[in-house]
Structure 1
Amino acid sequence: MEADHDAIPPNLAAIDASAWRELETAAASPQSGFRFLNLCSVDSEARPQARMVVLRRADGPSRVLEFHTDSRSPKWLELSANPNVTILGFSTQTRLQFRLQGMVELHAAGSDLANAAWDRLSTWTRTTYTGGPPGDECASDVIDEAVLPKPADQAEGKPHFGLLIFRARTLDWFELRRQGNRRALLTYDETGALAACRWVNP
């Protein structure tokens, strides 16, 4: 059943609102099942790439999710070339799967939004952006647990910090149940409003 703005089925509207509440809660709660999400992009050879990312912020009304990354990473280059992504998450607590599709905006170090996000980071998190580029080979002593790491200057990481702002256009909602799994497809317009929704076979 397709629905327009004036005729969204109440049960699907409630599912939509609940899903985004889950995401907003996950952004503030490390214990949430949706705190870590899978960000899927496509590389320059059209091969799918997936990696876990930490959900830093979620805003239901605007359908926005926020993530942080190292701007020297392969995914930054992939997203620069093709900003179409899928975000996938599953919570064992609620037995819900969210698969969101949309586009990501990249905000590099020095931009107002990246600077504001950097200022909110803890000192420890800032130090994770120091060191060599992600994916580069590193010396064995770097991963030797018996060797104490050298203190990192958090300021060294700021030029490598990148902010990713994802705007969802669809949400594929799936509930795993003992009997009668449920699945719904929700579509959002450019303003983030729920534009269409329908039940589909799981």
Structure 2
Amino acid sequence: MNLEEVDASAWSSLESAAKDPQSGFRFINLCSVDVAGRPQARMVVLRRADTAARLLDVHTDTRSPKWLELSRNPFVTILGFCASTRIQLRLAGTTRLHSPGSDLAEKAWSELSAWTRRTYAGGPPGDELSDDETVPVVAGDEASGKAFFGVVSFRAESLDWFELRRADNRRAGFEYSHLGALVASRWINP
């Protein structure tokens, strides 16, 4: 594969992962910095990928620490690894938050299953549970979670692609314009 094919394949994999719960890139790490300047990483579900714009969307509860972190510092890294292809994708870029009631949050909410909607109806993420609570009590129906549902849109500025092989690992770097166009690519020593 040449560099353009590697880039196209990486983004095709991300687009597929947003639609296929069994995809190796369906669950990705969103890495940010907390208010104390400490690195934070958490698994999120990739919900949408747009190759032309170099955008990825994930959903979150707006009461979560990550929402506050991203509102203060939009610079993040996204890391994914597909065990079957042995490919790692490390993307760096910025986030934009779409609050409850925004057009994107409304559209995304309308496409969620009732079960997923109910996950936003409970207490704030990270709240302490009592000793006898093993599962948080969901106070309210699925509609009550809509007030806390937000979308995080990530725009990639760069991609570090790495293929782990038995011999001759391969690595490439890609840079994108603010409109998503590929502006630079190169092979990198793994």
Under TM normalisation by the shorter chain, which class is it?
A: over 0.9
Higher relative contact order (CA closer than 8 Å, sequence separation 6+) = 1
- For the residues of structure 2 that align with 1:125 and 1:31, how far apart are their CA atoms? 17
CA-to-partner distance for each residue in 1:135-178, whole Å, 9 max, x for gaps? 01012443159xxx668400110000010000000000000000
For residues 113-142 of structure 1, give each alpha carbon's deviation from its aligned partner in whole angstroms, at most 9, with x where no partner exists.
111110010000000001111001012443
Q: Which amino acid aligns with 1:57?
A: R
Q: How does 1:133-148 map to 2 (within 5 A)?
A: 133-143=124-134
SS of alignment partner, residue 101 of structure 2: coil
Calculate percent identity across the aligned residue pairs.
63
Q: 1:196 to 1:136 in 2, by over 3 A?
A: same
Count residues in correspondence: 190
Contact 2:123 2:138 in 1 (8 A): no
Please name the residue that 1:35 is paired with: 26
1:156 and 2:144 correspond: yes
**2 CA distance for matches of 1:56 and 1:104?**
15
Comparing 82-91 and 133-142, the one that deviates more: 133-142
Structure 2 regions of 5+ residues with no counterpart?
A: none
Matches within 5 A, 1:35-184: 35-143=26-134, 152-184=140-172
Q: 1:112: how far off?
A: 1.1
1:5 — aligned with what? none
Matching residue's letter, 2:166: R
The two structures have a TM-score, normalised by structure 1, of 0.91
C-alpha contact (below 8 Å) 2:86/2:164 kept by paired residues? yes
TM-score, structure 2 as length reference: 0.96
Q: Distance in 1 between matches of 2:135 and 2:99?
A: 32
The separation in 1 between residues aligned to 2:123 and 2:27, in whole angstroms, is 24
Cα distance, 1:100 vs. partner? 0.2
Gaps of 5+ in 1: 1-9
Judged with a 3 Å threshold, the aligned counterparts in structure 2 of structure 1 residues 34 and 150 are, in CA distance, closer, same or farther, namely closer
Match of 2:173 in 1: 185
The structure with more radius of gyration: 1
Which aligned segments of 4 or more residues in structure 1 are displaced greater than 4 angstroms? 149-152
Q: Deviations over 1:23-58 (max 9, x none)?
A: 000001111110000000001111000000000011
Amino acid at match of 1:159: A
Q: For residues 48 and 142 of structure 1, what CA distance do their matches in structure 2 show?
A: 30
